[in-house]
Structure 1
Amino acid sequence: MKLTNLYIDGKWVESASRARFDVVNPSNERVIASVASADLSDADRALDAAERAMALWRSETPRYRSEVLRRAFNLMSERIEHFAHLISLENGKASADAVGEASYAAEFFRWFSEEAVRAEGTISHAPSSGARILVQQKPAGIGLLITPWNYPAAMGTRKIAPALAAGCAVIIKPAAETPLTMLALMPVLEEAGVPNGLVNVLPTTHPGALVDHIMDDPRIRVVSFTGSTSVGKELLRNAAGQVLKPAMELGGNAPLIVFEDADLDTAVEGAFQAKMRNLGEACTAANRIYLHENIAAEFISEFVARMSKLKLGDGTDQRSDVGPLVNEETRTKVARLVEDAVAKGAIVELGGYAPEGPGYFYTPTVLSNVPDDADCIHDEIFGPVAVIQSFTDQDQVICRANDTEYGLVAYVFSKNMKRALNVCEQLEFGMVGLNRGIVSDPAAPFGGVKQSGLGREGGKDGMLEFMETQYISAAW
């Protein structure tokens, strides 16, 4: 029962309103648990706790913070199977994907345990005045972390770890579809030595009112959000009221380009990973696959063969390769996008339907000959649907790839490194996968350009999102 309550000031508590909501297993549509739903007074309690805890935490040495985070990595790594099972239960993702996410999530604690001791500053001599310029990084303040349902563990640790490494306290609002994984992380942090009040978790069915209330509090200095661009824009407007530091990882519409000189086996496997990792429910998922016409037929044949081997089933069943989508709304959107593309001339090479029975399943689908006016070319699919078009001219395909308001990630496959790197530099995306279908790495700066977001998570940049630069002009 306690792991389904709110987590405030190191304690498991009911919400002030006593309200609760159900969490559903998308594989069978059954209720897994009833979770406490936070209200505004709960948010005030969390803010008070975070303020007290941060006053002490920021004064701890970087090495102390580092060792706490390293213990969190060790403890979470020992419980990967437990977290993977929870992820599969509430999110639906296949067991192998869930294990991958849990391991990836733990890695953020290890990476930022190492970065915690490297918040470096500078001392220089002002050329004109002769004063010394001292520059240092300081904790920015309490962070509000808003995480999505598609990666219920990793999107939380990717924000918690750098915040704690920087010396900040946090309040986390996990998605209502998947709160259990984040709540289950709290005993790990307690055992690792994270002080009471430093990390607070507030699931809720009223996210708009709760988030607005927290963001209006002057003690909040950072808002870190992963989710849709439309919600991100609202948060940015609200952040302006308190001039909060925003870190926004928003939507995507990733192109994947396969040139005629690509290694076909590498390209097929890379496209499979870029499309089907997390069932396509990822902002990094390949949304548009562009194949040079000289290799298009062979690629499609091999790609369809690869996709056709996937077995649908309950996410917790280790024999399943593909679990369900997270809810009925998501499956309905995927089905609509497929129907629209087919009505406009796309060819169904594989799949293209929702199987009967309980659970929000949709079959792995491959569409070729997709026209430019199909909605799936312009809208993020967020499902197991590979959308394929062909090209002949390099400059033309670069223009087509860039023809989107989003700029999170792109993928390029070619054995000609001169050509490949030239194409990468012309692509208007914050990240590019070159001859590989996975770009996410705790040691790399994850983030996009245009309407895909602001700031970076991971790498050396991740901790800076929770720090402010202070300059001291000194004479001696």
Structure 2
Amino acid sequence: MTGTNDALVSEKSVIEQVPKELLIGGRWQLAAGGASYEVEDPSVAEPLCTVPDAGPDDAQAALRAAADAQPGWAAVPPRERGELLRRCYEEIMRRQDELALLMTLEMGKPVAESKGEIAYAAEFFRWFSEEAVRIDGGWQTAPDGNGRIWTMRQPVGPTLLITPWNFPMAMGTRKIGPAVAAGCTMIVKPAHQTPLSMLALGAIMQQAGLPDGVLNILTTTHPGQVCEPLLRSGSIRKVSFTGSTAVGRKLLEQSADQVLRTSMELGGNAPFIVCEDADLDKAVVGAVLAKMRNIGEACTAANRMYVHSSLARPFTERLAEKLSAMKIGRGTEPGVQVGPLIDAAGRKKVTSLVEEALAAGARTVIGGEPLNDRPGYFYPPTVLAEVPADCRILREEIFGPVAPIVTFDADDEAIRLANDTEFGLVSYVFTESLRRGVRYAESLETGMLGLNKGIVSTPAAPFGGVKHSGLGREGGRVGIDEFLETKYVAVDI
């Protein structure tokens, strides 16, 4: 690894502090069969450490622990659950620097961006610590006056939470926060590429006083063997998944057998629309944020840029200038703004999408080829102009720092192009006209819209999509609803 000796010591220390075992029933332990796998640093393509590779036996042990802990955890007063989340929030923020470094080492994003994610992740715990005491019910007179209608809200029960590699802490707290607040026990299966952030979070929650068995963590390279038996067990009552649409479909099929509650935050193909009356400076800044957050490895990343033909040239030039000035390197190095992609497969996909677009007639403005002059999985910020409408790069998630630009001449055309996808997670529109903004907001088939904003994510808002981008919402006031059942009692008085 590159860097100063002090930096190396710091990196080594951060890795050593993380429990590298499964968390089952309050105990840290190795996999039942003793299997393990290496966690890789994508910036140098070298292993950081090894963690247990859980199998079906470990999953069953975690299931028993979660099921056994459920009645007692559901009975814990909401205020106590909220205070526990608050303590976790404060500890995460106290350890923000070391947790950010840990995230950078296993995922690749620059440390400054990792620090932003740690704060974002912690905020979900603060938000749901406040929601725990606001779980409500109802009492009303029946319409005929002969009885009362009593409604109460109770935890859905043991849950399976499956998190992705691109936001390894925040996607965990976005699910764990409402589960804890609602009184649900959990089995968490982090992405195999980035398990360390979740293991560190598990240790923090233990130290904050979380009872044994409430949170169980399984690291594995065999997600199907681990998760499918849990979904079909009858003991898990809800699954929450963030990841690809293809995997989401499979999980929905497996969940149908036991009629499980499901939350699915799936793929995206976000259009970024620059209208003819847009403030060009704002639009370029917004495009950089929407495209380059997390190196473009985000379901909310701007995937297709539709720019009014009157602004296409200056927008393309300014965007290319901004992106070409971004420093590429290992995320721990000072001033780095663009780290590596997550692995060789991720870089291969980005490379193939760009090559196909160029072969179809697109023009390279900047970038366009993988960086093979260094270790790790680096791909430079890339801007493509004159991209043909039928290119695969406009239909699939790029998950990389590539901005394909297409021009349009009328709002109807932009709306048609933006909606021409099976996905509908988030869209971005830049316009100085309130009337035009409202029209786009009402016409775009999307779960979220950034109107003159390049980032939409906040714990206080409901996050989720329509069409093949998923089911349910995470965050906001409705985020806890996904973990609660409503019970109605007919009262004869």
Common fold by TM > 0.5? yes
Does 1:97 pair with 2:119?
no
Distance (whole Å) between structure 1 residues aligned to residue 488 and residue 288 of structure 2: 48
Deviation of 1:246 after TM superposition, in Å, equals 0.4
Secondary structure at the counterpart of residue 260 of structure 1: coil
Does 1:44 pair with 2:44?
no
Match of 1:226 in 2: 242
Deviation of 1:56 after TM superposition, in Å, equals 1.1
Deviation of 1:11 after TM superposition, in Å, equals 1.3
Match of 1:431 in 2: 448
Residue among 414, 421, 444 paired with 2:461: 444
Secondary structure at the counterpart of residue 3 of structure 1: coil
Residue among 394, 413, 431 paired with 1:396: 413
Residue among 459, 467, 470 paired with 2:484: 467
Deviation of 1:129 after TM superposition, in Å, equals 6.0
Label 1:130 to 1:426 Cα distance change in 2 as closer, same or farther (>3 A). farther
Deviations 1:358-387 (A, max 9, x none): 100000000011101111011110000001
Match of 1:107 in 2: 123
Give me the identity figure in percent.
52
Distance (whole Å) between structure 1 residues aligned to residue 204 and residue 23 of structure 2: 13
Match of 1:62 in 2: 78
Residue among 287, 304, 329 paired with 2:303: 287
Aligned residues: 476
Match of 1:34 in 2: 50
Gapped runs of 5+ residues in structure 1? none
Deviation of 1:341 after TM superposition, in Å, equals 0.6
Distance (whole Å) between structure 2 residues aligned to residue 244 and residue 89 of structure 1: 36
Does 1:181 pair with 2:197?
yes
Residues 411-430 of structure 1 aligned to structure 2 (within 5 Å): 411-430=428-447
Residues 5-20 of structure 1 aligned to structure 2 (within 5 Å): 5-20=21-36
Instruction: Give the letter for the 1:422 counterpart.
Output: R
Match of 1:256 in 2: 272
Residue among 320, 338, 343 paired with 1:327: 343
Does 1:361 pair with 2:378?
yes
Deviations 1:43-72 (A, max 9, x none): 111112112222111101111111011001
Match of 2:289 in 1: 273
Residue among 471, 475, 484 paired with 1:454: 471
Secondary structure at the counterpart of residue 460 of structure 2: coil
Deviation of 1:41 after TM superposition, in Å, equals 1.2
Deviation of 1:422 after TM superposition, in Å, equals 1.4
Deviations 1:160-212 (A, max 9, x none): 01000000000000111010110011121012111111101000111101101
Match of 2:389 in 1: 372
Match of 1:119 in 2: 135
Deviation of 1:454 after TM superposition, in Å, equals 0.3
Aligned partners of 1:456 and 1:465 also within 8 Å: yes
Deviations 1:224-245 (A, max 9, x none): 0000000000000000011100
Does 1:200 pair with 2:216?
yes
Deviation of 1:327 after TM superposition, in Å, equals 0.2
Secondary structure at the counterpart of residue 352 of structure 2: helix
Distance (whole Å) between structure 2 residues aligned to residue 463 and residue 60 of structure 1: 17
Normalised by the length of structure 1, the TM-score is 0.99
Match of 1:381 in 2: 398
Distance (whole Å) between structure 2 residues aligned to residue 225 and residue 182 of structure 1: 15
Instruction: Give the letter for the 2:462 counterpart.
Output: P
Aligned partners of 1:96 and 1:318 also within 8 Å: no
Deviation of 1:127 after TM superposition, in Å, equals 1.6
Distance (whole Å) between structure 2 residues aligned to residue 412 and residue 255 of structure 1: 8
Instruction: Give the letter for the 2:492 counterpart.
Output: A
Deviations 1:117-156 (A, max 9, x none): 1111122222246321112211000000011111111111
Secondary structure at the counterpart of residue 113 of structure 1: helix
Gapped runs of 5+ residues in structure 2? 1-15
Secondary structure at the counterpart of residue 389 of structure 2: coil
Moved more, 276-285 or 294-303: 294-303
Q: RMSD across aligned C-alpha pairs, in angstroms?
A: 1.0
Does 1:144 pair with 2:160?
yes
Normalised by the length of structure 2, the TM-score is 0.95
